[in-house]
Structure 1
């Protein structure tokens, strides 16, 4: 059967999610429309499809033990020259993201894995594009601000077309998630970013 490529992330809600996605596309990042705007908790990870029920049970457990927390984005940062990434910084909520990603990758669960780099929560807005375009992303979003209450994370699968699609959303404390689904031009017209379903 092969494997599936999974990821776990916190969605950046509307209107910020679609705004940052469109800006990322405008900077020339070809992956922009296949990646909903997010904060990664588990980077792309190969898994056996048969493990999905155990993975979903594990993520439900992590979410149930979690509580909503304030998230605030402010300004830009970069991992250059180590990695060709420009991102929007997390000014509030980083510690909670770090706690969550440790639980998602916990050695007792089905998603245990090592990270290529130390975990640093962020929202990517440019990756692997021309240096001039990376500089423009860094400068144009230097004053960007957004804030919301984070109440969930989601499991995503990357399709053969490279597009990430949400499989399931996990609300904290067993409640109801409050972040509307973020559409992409692949799934929905760009004029209706909040109309996507999963």
Structure 2
């Protein structure tokens, strides 16, 4: 999630997503909220990569849970929340857990100022789930081809981006993804999970989710 503008953040090739930019927070004026859908990176890997992102001085490090984007920042009316959740529940019900292997670093520069940890396994699974998520009530065009990744540095000085690229070049992590989460963007600029969608099962509220409050996202 980034604070640079929703059009740019919607880029699922180059770009950071979900993004903290744009949109009206849940319960805000106009009854519109900004959502994103992503596969969370489980701890200890997620916490480690978030800490590394913070160590590079990325001001968004603590506003963005470590993730692989499925749906970039998208505004929806409050009236469509139930339909979106039902859609996501149906998508999750058609899938089964699959392995993901993170290995090494990559970058979208010079097209977009992003350094990321790359997927060596699980790309096909992410692509399949992403295509299903971006259908029905969430159907939308993307300005770039979908490229699953885990952002670790965004919009930082070139020397810092180079440092991030080098320091994560040897990084590896293996885990099985259980499903994906629906996130909302809060007035405080923080993205928070609201509901988890379990592959082959259903949906459960995310711990600590605050669906009704103005700071939930």
TM-score normalised by structure 2 residue count: 0.80
User: Residue 196 of structure 2 contacts residue 203 of structure 2 at CA under 8 Å; is this kept in 1?
Assistant: no
Verify: 1:10 aligned to 2:50, yes or no.
no
Aligned counterpart, 2:190: 163
Q: For 1:86-125, list aligned pairs within 5 A.
A: 86-106=115-135, 109-125=136-152
TM-score normalised by structure 1 residue count: 0.87
The separation in 1 between residues aligned to 2:202 and 2:183, in whole angstroms, is 20
The separation in 2 between residues aligned to 1:95 and 1:44, in whole angstroms, is 22
Aligned counterpart, 2:109: 80
Aligned counterpart, 1:197: 208
For each residue in 1:133-170, what CA deviation from the matched residue of structure 2 results, as whole angstroms up to 9, or x when unmatched?
11110000001000111111000001111100111000
User: Residue 113 of structure 2 contacts residue 154 of structure 2 at CA under 8 Å; is this kept in 1?
Assistant: yes
CA RMSD in angstroms, aligned pairs only: 1.4
- How far is the alpha carbon of 1:49 from its aligned partner? 1.1
**Secondary structure of the residue that 2:138 maps to in structure 1?**
coil
The separation in 1 between residues aligned to 2:176 and 2:50, in whole angstroms, is 20
User: Residue 89 of structure 2 contacts residue 202 of structure 2 at CA under 8 Å; is this kept in 1?
Assistant: no
Aligned length: 179
User: Residue 195 of structure 2 contacts residue 203 of structure 2 at CA under 8 Å; is this kept in 1?
Assistant: no
The separation in 1 between residues aligned to 2:58 and 2:143, in whole angstroms, is 22
Q: Structure 1 stretches of 5 or more lacking a match?
A: 182-195
The separation in 1 between residues aligned to 2:91 and 2:123, in whole angstroms, is 17
The separation in 2 between residues aligned to 1:16 and 1:176, in whole angstroms, is 24
- How far is the alpha carbon of 1:2 from its aligned partner? 3.7
The separation in 2 between residues aligned to 1:116 and 1:161, in whole angstroms, is 27
- How far is the alpha carbon of 1:117 from its aligned partner? 1.0
Deviation >4 Å, runs of 4+: none
The separation in 2 between residues aligned to 1:197 and 1:157, in whole angstroms, is 13
- How far is the alpha carbon of 1:197 from its aligned partner? 3.3
